[in-house]
Structure formats: C-alpha cells, structure tokens
C-alpha cells in the first residue's frame, strides 16, 4: 500500500512518459515515420492535460459544494 500512496497522482504521468519513450524508440529503430511519432507523442501529452483539467474541475466542484463557514 505504501507504493500505491507514493504513486498517487503520478501514474498518468509515468504512463504518458513511457508512451513518448516508446514512440521515440520506434522512430529511432526505423519502425515508424516522423508523423506517426509526433501523433503518438501528442496523444500522450493530451492525456496528461486532460487529467489535469479533470482534476482541477473536480476540485472546483468540491469547493463549490462546501457550505460557507
């Protein structure tokens, strides 16, 4: 459980980083062309920004539901 707590909120970033590294590895190995590499990297980064947006909107919704003290 300690490992899960340490990774809380970071798994998406690690996964996106792995996707970018995989895309770059495939490009430098000659398996894919540059346009596909750019598309894969863009998709991985898009997931990170989507996660950040969902997290910030969820925090706003929670704050809006709290009663005024």
**Secondary structure (3-state) at 63:** helix
pLDDT value at position 65? Answer: 82
Cα 61 from Cα 57, distance rounded (Å): 6
Cβ atoms of residues 23 and 32 within 8 Å:
yes
pLDDT value at position 33? Answer: 97
Query: Is 0.75 surpassed by the pTM of this model?
Result: no
Mean pLDDT throughout 4-20? Answer: 86
């Amino acid at each position: 459980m300690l490992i899960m707590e340490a990774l809380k909120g970071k798994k998406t970033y690690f996964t996106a980083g792995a996707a970018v590294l995989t895309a770059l590895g495939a490009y430098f190995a000659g398996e894919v062309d540059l346009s596909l590499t750019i598309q894969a990297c863009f998709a991985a980064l898009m997931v990170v920004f989507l996660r950040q947006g969902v997290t910030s909107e969820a925090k706003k919704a929670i704050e809006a539901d709290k009663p005024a003290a």
